[in-house]
Amino acid sequence: MVKRFLKAAAPLATLVCAAMTPDRGSMPAKSYTAAYAALTSRIPAFARKYGLRCSACHTAWPELSAFGQRFKDNGYQLGNDRDSPIWQNNAYWPIAMRTTPQYRVENTTNQVTVASPGGKTITQAGFDLSGVDFLLLGTLYKDITFGLVPTLDADGTTGLEAAFVRFDNLGNSPWANLKVGKFELDNLLSEKRFTWLSSNGGFLYAYHYLPVGSANNFGFGDNQIGAEFSGHSINSYTRYSVALLTGDDGEPGLPGGKSVDAMFTASRAFAIGSGLGPQRVGVFGYLGHRPTVFDSSGGAPIPGTGSANKSFVRFGATAQLWVGNLEIIPLVSHASDDAALGPGADKPAWNTALLEAHYVATPRLLVQGRYEVMRMSKQGDPAIPSTQGNADAFALGVRAYPFMFSRDGMALHAEFAMTKTIGTAPLSGDGSGVDPATPTTVVWSRSLLLAFDFAF
């Protein structure tokens, strides 16, 4: 039935391409595990600070409502002249923690193993953990905001998801704000405030896909290091941001070159209808570079010395539309890389379209669905089959919040997600995590997740 659904939806796919067979080794797709997918933000510390229920800032947490978006745009300040920490009780500490104990089943077809080099279906199941996010965000002073998000993965590794300082309302204008550090790109459809947690549902192909043989490492959904200048109207209905970012995909230590990437977003919301939020439309674009040559010492590249940069672009449009309590989020995007970042002489290009819907029955019950289709429009090497890398992703979920107040949050989360990829491993990394035996082999990967998602 699911296959039938995907087949029926296939005409949504954009383009087709050239032909052929891969004679160059295709790189394993970048994996995004459930632990990564859980790195989203929802911050009870703010609720405690301001005495507002989660539902004030979140349509269904962690997704931001229009009010929450304005709060974030204003530097996590309500603007009531009580935002500076001096007004807080001395005992208040701006920290929240989130984790997601879960039971999950992952099922992936055509997986190459030692015992089955031709491929077999692998099913993985059991109780699991998502890791922990430590969400420290707030104000250092009025109109000076900070963010610090250390992470502890379930396997014990640590990370620094975000670390920034933001100067808000420069010149007393909401149109001028400067943020420096590591932060989430200003994506209207945020993966960090996702209501999807499963291995196959917790990321977007639009934000993470890289074609077969790509040497690029960029992901829209990855937090980046740089500086962002942004602004918004008083109600945040009009928003823009421009950012200059080191070309390291958020990796500290200057592993890339000296050039910087540039990102631009703009969106406008309209108070049309009586839905739960305004109708917002937006566009985004990213121009990036990746070095192809490094100075080296002892055979190892010297950080920050990359040169001979080659470019890549991403751009697209998205919207956030409300019909009563039904939220509809379409997104279309186009991506292409310089040939030097790919496996052959051509510039690979691909297109993505997705449609996500949330029915916010009450602040305590969310039903959601998403369908995403990604199609290669041009392979980097004519020898690569035109369909290799194509992907379809479908997800369905329910989140129920047993209580809703200003101290912490908890959701009972059920989700089923499924992807179909051709000639590549799913981005989830499920199964053996390597590409199938042939470039035309279809891989189905399914996730079933039952979780207790909570933050305190």
Partner 1 sequence: MRPQTRWLTLSACGAVLLCGGAVRVVAQEAHVDRLTGRAAAGKPLYTRYCAGCHGDEGDSRGENTQWIDPKPRDFTLATFKCRSTPSGTLPTDQDLYNSVTRGFVTTNMPPWVALTPHNRIDLVAYIKTFSARWSTAKPGTPIAIPPEPAPTVQGILHGRELFQRLECWKCHGAAGHGDGPSAKTLTDNKDDPIRPYDFQTGTRFMCGTTNQDLYRIFMTGLDGSPMPSFADQLQPAQAWDLVHFLRTLQPLKTPEATIWRAWFTTHGRELKPIGQEGGGQ
Binding site for partner 1 (CB under 8 A): 50-53, 55-56, 65-67, 69-71, 78-82, 234-237, 271, 273-278, 362-363, 405-406
CA distance 422 to 438: 9
CA distance 428 to 305: 32
Q: Which is nearer to partner 1, 106 or 186 (CB)?
A: 186
Both tokens assigned to 243: 């950012």
CB of 406 to partner 1, least distance (A): 5
CB of 325 to partner 1, least distance (A): 8
Q: Which is nearer to partner 1, 274 or 297 (CB)?
A: 274
| 3-state SS assignment for residue 72 | helix
Q: Which is nearer to partner 1, 163 or 366 (CB)?
A: 366
CB of 236 to partner 1, least distance (A): 6
Q: Which is nearer to partner 1, 124 or 233 (CB)?
A: 233
Q: Which is nearer to partner 1, 145 or 441 (CB)?
A: 145
CA 35 to chain centre: 13
Question: 217-248 burial string, b = 16+ CB within 10 Å, else e?
Answer: bbbbbbbbbbbbbbbbeeebbbbbbebebbbb
Cα-Cα-Cα-Cα dihedral of 356, 286, 40, 70, to 10°? -80
Q: Provide the sign of the torsion angle of the four alpha carbons 188, 193, 198, 202, taken in this order.
A: positive
Q: Which is nearer to partner 1, 47 or 204 (CB)?
A: 47
Cα-Cα-Cα-Cα dihedral of 375, 381, 384, 387, to 10°? 10
CA distance 132 to 152: 5
CB of 147 to partner 1, least distance (A): 20
CB of 357 to partner 1, least distance (A): 19
Q: How many CB atoms lie within 10 A of CB 16?
A: 13
CA distance 407 to 370: 30
Q: Which is nearer to partner 1, 69 or 102 (CB)?
A: 69
Contacts of 52 (CB under 8 A, 6+ apart): 46, 406
Q: Which is nearer to partner 1, 9 or 52 (CB)?
A: 52
3-class SS string, 139-198: EEECCEEEEEEEEECCCCCEEEEEEEEEECCHHHCCCCEEEEEEECCCCCCCCCCCCCCC
Q: Which is nearer to partner 1, 79 or 433 (CB)?
A: 79
Q: Which is nearer to partner 1, 71 or 194 (CB)?
A: 71
| 3-state SS assignment for residue 274 | coil
CB of 369 to partner 1, least distance (A): 22
327's enclosing H/E stretch is strand 326-337
Contacts of 8 (CB under 8 A, 6+ apart): none
CB of 405 to partner 1, least distance (A): 5
Contact 163, 148 (CB under 8 A): yes
